[in-house]
Amino acid sequence: MRKVNTPNMSLTSLTTMHPGCGLSHRSQSYNSISSLEENNFYNTEPVLSIEELRIHLNSCFTCGVSWYEDHVSLDCGECGGYSLERPCPMCEGRCRSQWKRDLTMSHTTGKAKWAGQCGLRSNQSDNTSGTSLSSSSGVEKITSS
């Protein structure tokens, strides 16, 4: 490969030897990057930036509101009436613990899923560590993992 530099552009010449071919060599020159673009070397599908992906994942897949901006839909099962955090559902917030939305499970099931620990119940003999909560249509179901 031979490269010739000029003040405003670079000229590259590619030479390939093909012994089985009747021609002794072939060459192709590219005068600019724009000539490469004409050959569609680049994928034209849109790509999400990290910020756009974060915003997308922190939004409701069902109704489209942005939990990141503290928006919710009260009649949406995936929103469950809260954005990314909510007061402890086991004691209705008396322990002042905040539970975080389980984004993966909320998106997968289409219903609000929460992960956290009740500050009042964790002191009792019943160990509730790893407790998650599912909320749908105002009905709450508590499961331990």
> How many Cβ atoms from other residues are within 10 Å of residue 101's Cβ?
23
Q: Facing residues of 139 across strands?
A: 136
Q: CB within 8 A of 130, min separation 6: which ones?
A: 144, 145
pLDDT tens over the chain, length 145 residues: 444 444 554 444 444 444 544 444 444 555 555 555 555 555 667 888 999 999 999 999 999 999 999 999 999 999 999 999 999 999 999 999 999 999 999 999 999 999 999 998 766 544 444 455 554 433 344 433 3
SS3 assignment, position 53:
helix
- Rounded Cα distance, 31 and 10, in Å: 7
Can you give the residue range of the structural domain that contains 90?
60-144
In the chain, how many domains are there?
A: 2
What is the predicted pLDDT for the residue at 22?
46
Residue 49 lies in a domain: no
Domain co-membership, 136 together with 69:
yes
Q: Which of 94, 86, 96 is nearest to 132 (CA)?
A: 86
Q: Do 67 and 130 share a domain, yes or no?
A: yes
Answer yes or no: is 140 within a domain: yes
53: in domain:
no
Asked whether 132 and 113 are in contact (CB, 8 A), the reply is yes
What is the predicted pLDDT for the residue at 125? Answer: 40
- Same domain for 33 and 74, yes or no, is no
pLDDT of residue 85: 97
Residue 43 counted as domain residue = no
In a domain, 48, yes or no: no
Residue 21 to residues 18, 28, 93, Cα–Cα distance (Å): 5, 16, 80
Q: Model pTM greater than 0.85?
A: no
Indicate whether 51 belongs to any domain: no
54 in any annotated domain = no
Q: Is-contact 77 136, C-beta < 8 A?
A: yes
Neighbours of 79 (CB within 10 A): 22
